[in-house]
Amino acid sequence: METNKYTAGVLQYIPFFYVIWSDDLLSYSEVSVVKKAIEEDKTLEKEDYTYLLKYLDKKTPPPYAVLKHWKKVISNSGIKLVESDIYPLATFSQKMICHHYAACPFNSHLKDIEINLGIQPNHYKHLFEIEIVKEATSNFYNPAEIDTILKGDQATVIDAFRAFLKDPNFKWDIKRDKEAFRLHVLKQVQLLAKEGYGAMSYDTPYGGTNNMVGYAAIFENMMYVDGSMAIKFGVQFGLFGGSIQKLGTKKHHDAYLLETGKTNILGCFAMTETGHGSNVRGVKTTATYHKETDSIIIHTPGENDNKEYIGNALHSTMASVFAQLIVDGKNHGVHAILVKIRDEKHNLMPGVTIKDNGYKLGLNGVDNGKIWFHQVRVPRENLLNKYGDISSDGTYHSEIENPNKRFFTMLGTLVGGRICVARAGLGGAKKSLAIAVKHALKRRQFNDSIKIQEDLLMDYPSHQLRLTPAIASCYVYDVALTHIMKEYSDPKIIDKRKIETQVAGLKSMITWFANDTIQECREACGGKGYLLENQIADLKGDVDIFTTFEGDNHVLLQLAAKGVLSDFKSEFNSAGFTAVLKLLGERIGDKFSIVNATYTNNVDKDHLFSSKFHKHAFDYRTRRLTYTVAMRIRDYVKKGVPSYQAFLKVQTHLLALGKAYSVELAYNTYVDFTNSIEDKKNRLLFKKLGTLYALHELRKDASWYLEQGYITGTKSKAMRQRVERLSTELRPHIGVLVDGFGIPAHCMEAPIAN
Amino acid sequence: METNKYTAGVLQYIPFFYVIWSDDLLSYSEVSVVKKAIEEDKTLEKEDYTYLLKYLDKKTPPPYAVLKHWKKVISNSGIKLVESDIYPLATFSQKMICHHYAACPFNSHLKDIEINLGIQPNHYKHLFEIEIVKEATSNFYNPAEIDTILKGDQATVIDAFRAFLKDPNFKWDIKRDKEAFRLHVLKQVQLLAKEGYGAMSYDTPYGGTNNMVGYAAIFENMMYVDGSMAIKFGVQFGLFGGSIQKLGTKKHHDAYLLETGKTNILGCFAMTETGHGSNVRGVKTTATYHKETDSIIIHTPGENDNKEYIGNALHSTMASVFAQLIVDGKNHGVHAILVKIRDEKHNLMPGVTIKDNGYKLGLNGVDNGKIWFHQVRVPRENLLNKYGDISSDGTYHSEIENPNKRFFTMLGTLVGGRICVARAGLGGAKKSLAIAVKHALKRRQFNDSIKIQEDLLMDYPSHQLRLTPAIASCYVYDVALTHIMKEYSDPKIIDKRKIETQVAGLKSMITWFANDTIQECREACGGKGYLLENQIADLKGDVDIFTTFEGDNHVLLQLAAKGVLSDFKSEFNSAGFTAVLKLLGERIGDKFSIVNATYTNNVDKDHLFSSKFHKHAFDYRTRRLTYTVAMRIRDYVKKGVPSYQAFLKVQTHLLALGKAYSVELAYNTYVDFTNSIEDKKNRLLFKKLGTLYALHELRKDASWYLEQGYITGTKSKAMRQRVERLSTELRPHIGVLVDGFGIPAHCMEAPIAN
């Protein structure tokens, strides 16, 4: 019953129907979108309705003959499809009727279908035998607007910093010799200090603006220049300066902080020891108070008890040394003491030995070294005494009675550094994505041997799937990190323990994400990505260690999990445990019951795209893992297994919990943020990125959700398809999405990105 | 009804019962193991049976009070548990009765339980409050025997080669300057040539032993010295020499092959072009036959048509250039032509331009360069004419009529290189695992604050899970690669197309595996792994590009998938497609029906550990993916979507198929191999490694199996637990397992591994 001549009413829908049926776009909710549009279309005649509605039933798809006829009609029209049109398919349809009929108004119902089904050029450009006017990337969104949303209230600081990076001293170059590289980086750090960036997070009297949020933001931007520069900067101002600022008192601030911010004093942060790695509480270096001389003696007792991997060790004149403080024969636990390690002529002080750590996989512009102390004497005043002090009468006292609590309070000063490391990792991921996307928007590879031109790499579905979820994740993590830094630096929030747990988790997830992403970008750029000149290689080498330093990710994730388990109580013991367990049991009870068959099998687009679903799924996972790991630990403890060993036995379970918790945290923060975006167009884009992140993360753990019966196989498949589809839908905007990171042009020097 | 005094019969079982119940070791099949042992134990009295069997019901576990009492009895015995005993727990039990009773014969029924349940020190050492005599690694297995099994019939060649690597020229050192590094590597390659290793795979008249299998084995061993050395070696003898050997005829062999094997001629393999990457068929360089002068003119037409990333480009005097051969105005497709690129004084020949590619992420000892040809004239004889020739009368002829088939036949010469790249990746993975394991057997971290000593890293369950499945995978891939190289170099197998498909898949899977493994090892060694001196960093940089060169993994996996789809027919068209589809449908039909409820939910140890289950699961996945992707393609094609575009639309599906196929192939090859191991003890060890590999791989894709309903959530969880358990069970042997790789001590110079 097909005619060769369609009415104008039907004709305009033909391209849509062809795309929908050829690309298997239809799900039940989508049928209703199209149906509704047609039913509301008052321009249609009765016969038009009949014809169109006939082909909207999934159970009776149009026969192949009909499809082929539709295709012929479309191809014969000779009309070009312009990808950069706001509604390319609706506009194309309109042009088709104009071609055949006198009246051809733009039909907004078509536009609605195009928007609601999310039909993108990738869905049809291989279907039609028509000329397609392509652009590598659409200009529908404005990268400057996106960048502004991400920058938030730090826009002025960030813009000024990015402009400052134009200075030729920040121009990237290949540096193979570590000595020359280190001197270059030192010069860069001094330049940053001169401009006031070093002291930024300190109080005004010490040259700063007390802006930790801005500090973290510029720290990320430093990665666009060089990882070594960022890390040496972080060691000097964040770790060394930060230890004085946060563990010291006014006398230390006055004596050292202003000069540290100016790099007039170069310092290092001597915490980690060769033999003890992540176990900071177990460091062996001693700081013994000597009453007779009113001084503290710093000493490295054993062969493997030296300070290890200390950044800035070769350039520094001072060190903030973490050691067991022994007063009157009693060990009061780990404290930090300022130790002069070099004199004015840069010679080592008596008793101090420093050795170069040598070449590393990356960050060769950072001078890491090992430090040994042999009975090195410093004045009592050098004890950074905010949380524990020795009085002039030689007695130890601290406002924090519990040595455990005191230790963790001091370690809390590392939390800011962990946020910065995650930000730096994120910066590395962003830059490598920007390079890979720009390359993929130029690079052509293979074709169908009909076309003259090979296809753009970015047009391959597998390429879209490799890069797009990672881009979405960058947006989510950016927002999450900005938020957590605001909370961390908010003086109104006194108790930071919960934030510490959260940072431990986020740092792990984001630095792993950064490494995976950079690796994917390297491979996505093929051999070109392997050349140093294209800058991904350096990022890969530099960011690699981010998973280890400032807290090994495995250790931190367990810390996060224990935080969750103990309901954010920093101490965990079997006495408090049962109470926590009871609480968890109560909370989790009602959550389990929600999961019913309609829910587990719901593959509706609206449902799959709703943040309500994502939040529920993330929440369910965190709670369920918390509950089950707690039960396992309880059972072990009941059987007489010591608590330490019980935790060891559930270690992989704890890691899963730490991950689940962190993903949930990042997503929830992001959703709150997107709701606050005023401009609707950008808000919807941000929401779409959040949806892609959530579905991608849920899919990564699909086996767990399937095991729990939280989703069915059908739903799991539908989620996978949605991840692929969203990646394709975002294809036209992918160039804009990486431009939205705001990486300055003067930091994008990679030849393949230009 | 617990007494303080047990009979000797009961007492000896107490440690077992305590371990079993405390560590939740019991599954149904395991209950039967214990039951059977007890029932067959004729030394027991009737009351003993009654007591023991009472505590063998999963539904009525012993109350906590009983467990605690058992523990007390064990602890009070004051007996040491010696981990290095062959049957530590059975021996411990025996000692316990000796302590209380006069007669205490060794009870072999206990031994049986210990073996059959796979109880390992990790299961109990945290449970008992007894002294445990530990050793970092057990000597139950002999690494030399394991190594011998892996070496197979190449043992003599491999042993001689490993001994040769003691030469001080192969001592590892940090090399930062590419010029010096390249000269050093050149010297190493010349040294290898002098010893006859370069020509190894050539025929005897050309200095070789025609031993491609041995060649691949020593190639892997080269990675223990340096990646750059391996790759430059491969370029000179495998790619350049290989192109002469395989694409040339006797005149070329006589003129060049002997000299190439001796490095008297240095050559490069000029295939890839900047603008065309993986699309070799689309190279733009032309080789135009000029009848008047009987010569061929090599020319680079456009800016981006230069040869790119050509290894050995700066040291070579000749190049094997892949170009479109044009004879009498007709393009006959890609052919290889020998071109002299430098004269005796190492000056470039007229018309040849070569530029250094510069520094790379790794392999900086390999001199990669770009090459342009401007109307470079070479004699007609320089055409490597095995598959296509120009006669003296100036006409083109080939025995292979179909240009497509001709092209793929020529490309087939790359297959040997792909196996070698996979082997090299495997070598990198092995060495990094050996370093990481040796480090983890020394390095201590944290403790329960009761013990003096911190725990060994290797005793952490998460650490076991990070490294052990990777070690098992090395064994599987080693066997798979040896096997495929044997097939590839077997002159009895004429049609190598199936092997090409298989190699495409294996190369992708193994090089990705190698990268993931090296990264995991880097992180597992913490900051130490980041130092160049510890050698993981270099491996990481070198192996990275293996996923890209000799065929990009994404491209190769699609090639593998297409091979599977077309039932190993190298051509694929819609005509042949329906027939293939029908065939697949028939084959797959009976496979689907096997899956029933008992099967999908079977969590029995015997079932989960049986290669029958693994094989079925792998086979099911490959067939199911083949079937569904074929159906999708058919639907697209029916709707008029051109075949090229249809393949594009199912790209991610094809990648999944390529992976599934390769894993199945590797596993099946491995199982056949293990069945052939004569010595039972080692055979069982190899089988256990295969089981760990299979379960680990199946778990990685658990979401897919769950979606298909092939396994239930319960079975999926059981599989995860088995992976963790196997990793723990292999813990005592982990040092031996990495020693079994046979990496010579003189190549294990990393300080953390010593």
Residues B347 and B435 in one domain: no
Where among A374, A399, A424 does a domain terminate? A399
**Which residues of chain A does B64 touch, with a Cβ-Cβ cutoff of 8 Å?**
638-639
Do A449 and A498 share a structural domain? Answer: yes
Burial A407-438 (b: 16+ CB within 10 A, else e): bbbbbbbbbbbbbbbbbbbbbbbbbbbbbbbb
In this prediction, residue A660 has a pLDDT band, given cuts at 50, 70 and 90, of: very high
Check whether residue B282 and residue B345 sit in a common domain.
yes
Query: Do A323 and A421 belong to one domain?
Result: no
Residues in chain B closer than 8 A to A644 (CB atoms): 447-450
Give CA–CA dist A716/A737, Å, rounded: 27
CATH number of the CATH domain containing B474: 1.20.140.10
Strand partners, A342: A348
CB contact under 8 A, A358 and B532: yes
Cα torsion angle, B523, B524, B528, B529, sign: negative
- What percent of chain B is modeled with pLDDT above 90? 64
Domain assignment present for A99: yes
Nearest CA in chain B to A362: B530
B172: which chain A residues are within 8 Å (Cβ-Cβ)? Answer: none
pLDDT of the residue at B445: 60
Judge whether residue A103 has pLDDT over 70.
yes
Which of A133, A158, A188 represents a domain boundary (last residue)? A133
- Are A236 and A403 in contact by the 8 Å Cβ rule? The answer is no
User: Which H helix or E strand runs over B352?
Assistant: strand B352-356
In this structure, is residue B646 part of a structural domain?
A: yes
% of chain A surpassing 90 pLDDT: 64
Report the residue of A649, A653, A695 to disrupt the B interface, i.e. the one with the largest count of B CBs within 10 Å: A649
Give the span between the Cα atoms of A107 and A44, in whole angstroms: 11
pLDDT of the residue at B111:
85
Looking at per-residue pLDDT, the higher value among A442 and A125 belongs to A442
Rounded distance between C-alpha atoms, residue B457 and residue B469, angstroms: 16
Q: What CATH number does the domain containing A301 carry? A: 2.40.110.10
Given A220, A273, A550, A697, the catalytic residue: A550
Question: Does residue A613 fall inside a structural domain?
Answer: yes
> Who among B455, B515, B709 is closest to A713 (CB)?
B709
Report chain A's mean pLDDT, rounded to a whole number. 89
Whether residue B244 contacts residue B256, with contact meaning beta carbons closer than 8 Å, is answered with: yes
**Best interface-test mutation with A: which of B407, B446, B538 has the largest number of A CBs within 10 A?**
B446
- Look up the domain containing B182 and give its range: 146-261
Measure the CA–CA gap between A576 and A582, rounded to whole angstroms: 10
Tell me the chain A residues in contact with residue B465 when contact means C-beta distances shorter than 8 Å: 652
Residue of B228, B703, B712, B722 to mutate when probing chain A, most A C-beta within 10 A: B703
Mean pLDDT across chain B: 89
Distance from CA of B601 to the nearest CA of A (A): 12
Question: Do both B166 and B123 map to the same domain?
Answer: no
Report if residue B140 sits inside a domain: no
- Is A453 found in the same domain as A507? yes
**B609 and B537 belong to one structural domain:** yes
Residue A428 lies in a domain: yes
Average pLDDT over residues B29-34: 76
- Token pair for A705: 């959700």
Confidence of residue B63 (pLDDT cuts 50, 70, 90): confident
Query: Are residues B583 and B510 part of one domain?
Result: yes
Asked if B547 and A523 come within 8 Å (Cβ–Cβ), the reply is yes
Q: Which of A410, A401, A209, A406 is nearest to A320 (CA)?
A: A410
Is the per-residue pLDDT at A1 higher than 60?
no
Confidence (pLDDT) at A584: 54
Backbone angles phi, psi at A595, to 5 degrees: -70, 110
How far, in Å, are B154, B172, B200, B427, B754 from residue B167 at the CA level?
A: 21, 11, 19, 20, 20
- Which helix (H) or strand (E) segment is A321 a member of? strand A318-327
Contact A448, A463 (CB under 8 A): no
Q: Which pLDDT tens digit goes with each residue over A475-523? A: 999 999 999 999 999 989 888 888 999 999 999 999 999 999 999 999 9
Q: Which residue did the predictor score with more confidence, A103 or A266?
A: A266
Q: Nearest-CA distance from A385 to chain B in Å? A: 27
Domains contained in chain A, number: 3
Answer whether B126 sits within 8 Å of A649, measured CB to CB. yes
Confidence of residue B444 (pLDDT cuts 50, 70, 90): low
The b-or-e profile of A94-122 (16+ CB within 10 A means b, else e) is bbbbeeeeeebeebebbbbbbebbbbbbb
Range in A569-583, A618-632, B312-326 the model is least confident about: A569-583
Structure tokens at A199: 């002291």
Indicate if the pLDDT at residue B573 is higher than 50.
no
Query: Does one domain contain both A425 and A310?
Result: no
The shortest CB-CB distance from B652 to any of A277, A465, A515 is to A465
pLDDT classification of B136: cutoffs 50, 70, 90: low
Please state the rounded mean pLDDT for residues A343-354.
97
Contacts of B126 in chain A (CB under 8 A): 641-642, 645, 648-649
Domain assignment of residue A214, yes or no: no
Do B67 and A640 count as a contact with CB atoms less than 8 A apart? yes
Put simply, the answer to whether A526 touches B277 (Cβ < 8 Å) is yes
Residue B28 confidence (pLDDT): 61
- Does the residue B744 lie in any domain? no
Chain A residues with CB under 8 Å of B537 CB are: 360-361
Residue A550 annotated as catalytic: yes
* For B709, nearest residue in chain A (alpha carbons): A713
B465 and B448 in one domain?
yes
- pLDDT by residue (tens digit) across B183-205? 999 999 999 999 999 999 999 99
Report the 10 Å Cβ neighbour count for A155: 15
In terms of CA atoms, which chain A residue is nearest residue B122?
A649
Judge: A636–B22 Cβ closer than 8 Å, yes or no. Answer: yes
Does B752 fall in a domain? no
Determine the average pLDDT of the residues in A232-253: 97
Residue A370 and residue A465 in one domain: no
Look at residues A537, A593, A572, A699 and name the one whose alpha carbon lies nearest to residue B363: A537
pLDDT band at A446; cut points 50, 70, 90: low
Q: How confident is the model at residue A451 (pLDDT cuts 50, 70, 90)?
A: very low
pLDDT at position B76 over 80: yes
Contact between B359 and A533 using a beta-carbon 8 Å cutoff: yes
Q: Do B702 and A703 touch (CB under 8 A)?
A: yes
In this prediction, residue A609 carries a pLDDT of 96
A471 and A589 share one domain:
yes
Residue B702: pLDDT above 50?
yes
Q: Which residues of A touch B279 (CB under 8 A)?
A: 445-446, 454
Catalytic residue among B114, B550, B664, B729: B550
Q: Cα torsion at B211, B216, B222, B228 (round to 10°)?
A: 110
- Pull the structure tokens for residue B604: 């029995």
In chain B, what percentage of residues exceed pLDDT 70?
90
d(CA B239, nearest CA chain A) in Å: 18
Across residues B613-628, what is the average pLDDT?
93
Q: Is the pLDDT of residue A586 over 70?
A: no
The nearest alpha carbon in chain B to A646 belongs to: B126
Weakest-pLDDT range from A62-71, A332-341, B561-570: B561-570
What number is the ipTM of this complex? 0.86
CA distance B361 to chain A (A): 5
Q: Who has greater pLDDT, A673 or B576?
A: A673
pLDDT of residue B578: 57
pLDDT band at B451 (very low <50, low <70, confident <90, very high): very low
What confidence category does residue B571 fall into, taking pLDDT thresholds of 50, 70 and 90? Answer: very low
- Residue where a domain stops, chosen among B106, B133, B160: B133
pLDDT band per the 50, 70, 90 thresholds, residue B449: very low
Confidence bin at A105 (pLDDT 50/70/90):
confident
